[in-house]
Amino acid sequence: MMPQRILMLGTGPVAVQLAVLFHRYNQAEVTFVSRSHVSERSQQFVDALARDGFVKASVQNASHHSLEGSISNCKVFESYDVVEGTYDFLVLACTADAYIDTLKQLPEAVLKSVKGVLLVSPTLGSNLIVKAQLEAIQPHIEVVSCSTYLGDTRVTEHSQPNCVTTMGVKKHLYFGYSHPSSILKSLLERLFTQVGLPVTYVSTPIEAESRNSSLYVHPALFMNTHALKAIFYGTDVPFYVYKLFPEGPITMDLIHEMRCMWQEISNILKVLNVTPLNLLRFMVEENYPLRAETISKQHIEQFESLSEIEQEYLLYVRYTGILIDPFSQPDDKGFYEDFSAVPFRKIYQNQKGVWEIPRMPHEDYYRTKIIQGLGQALNVETPMIDTLLTRYETTLQHFHKAHPNLKKSQQFFPKTFDEEMICIHQGLQGR
């Protein structure tokens, strides 16, 4: 088989790690596309690549050695509009909210040569958006969605953004395909078989997109009153994402909102003929495990058929069960590793002095808005999702009124995402 030509849209840690894997296990020719004309971080990547002549992926844990590797003499375009050549696949290694803008900037001649697109970190419905965006140019293009990125990859040396380290790896990934016979699927199967990361291949992209617990739990965790205060205004002492109130935001009201959102997404999935997620089982088996003594396997398996109050009780117990790492070794005073002490990140000023919102909740806002739009397009009511989004948007408006003269990014202003909504309607019609 001829080497596949891959255009990697993005120059962050995710893009570097994936490029190394495609090169190592598929002998792919990988070309990067940056945003160096508008992003200082992208410019730093371009400069580092020009200086060193390679990209490199390392790992923190020796057991993940299959993710290591490097690529020499790889090419990088400094903006999307100047890309030239022909490519077999696009890998969208950018955030989901950038998909439309990224594809619009690529030359039509480049898009016409592409056979398929891999969505690395989509939200529910991203495949519909991408397919509709490319419809006029590539009506039969293959779209592959991953449930989420494979792990936690970071730049550890600011001066070397071309060198990344993967700190941890997911337990399981899901991939969904729009085409029954897929070249991209065979590439991914070969890659992940050799990497040794368990993967389930499902029949549709939207099913893979639904297998991401962040979609279900992040809005409740980050769009509650306590969390929003910590993110936008700060707290006198550290406030932690996964701790019970008052150390963190987790209350029975928060758990109620989490369960309601899960139920609303489940209702959307049923209309799309996708099997909903057993949220508790997914949390326990594919995120952070619990001791068997904490929740019985029977309760986990029966979760979907239980009453609402029983479901909320079990979700609350699950969060109490991971306040500490239940599998760590206690110290001589009986204290286990403090697993839940993940502080909320506050709004911050970027290198140009512009205020920005942390990835969580900004990315979660986009993801949840798209899910809301998907529900509206399918005539599925989403009162809990509506409440969470209204609360977040009201916080944005209040902050702007309180600080009208701060130099703020567009993240601080509510959005309608009209282009995405048009694509969703178009994509659903084509199903």
| Number of other CB atoms surrounding residue 119 within 10 Å | 26
**9 bridge partner residues:** 33, 92
Taking residue 144's Cβ as centre, other Cβ atoms within 10 Å add up to 26
Name the pairing type of β-strands 54-59 and 163-169: parallel
Radius of gyration, CA atoms only, the chain: 22
Comparing C-alpha atoms, which of 226, 260, 220 is closest to residue 245? 226
Cβ proximity of 343 and 241 under 8 Å: yes
First to last CA, the chain: 32
Element (H, E) at 230: helix 225-232
Q: Do 254 and 319 contact (CB within 8 A), yes or no? A: no
At residue 382, what is the residue type?
T
Q: Is the peptide bond before 246 cis (omega within 30 degrees of 0)?
A: yes
Q: Go through the chain and tell me how many residues it has.
A: 431
Place of tokens 């994509």: 427
What is 27-53 written as a DSSP string? --EEEEE--TTT-HHHHHHHHHHHHH-
Nearest to 221 by CA among 184, 262, 183, 171: 262
Rounded to whole angstroms, how far apart are CA atoms 285 and 392? 30
Instruction: Reply yes or no on whether 179 is catalytic.
Output: no
Question: What are the residues whose beta carbons fall under 8 Å from the beta carbon of 6, sequence distance 6 or more?
Answer: 19, 22, 28, 29, 30, 31, 87, 88, 89, 90, 91
Integer angstrom CA distances of residue 327 from 3, 290, 337 = 44, 8, 9
Element (H, E) at 354: none
Token reading at 218: 């992040």
* Residue of 23, 64, 218, 256 with catalytic role: 218
Nearest in space to 294 (alpha carbons), one of 273, 325, 258, 330: 325
Q: C-alpha 222: how far from its chain's center? A: 15
Neighbours of 275 (CB within 10 A): 11
* Catalytic center residues: 218
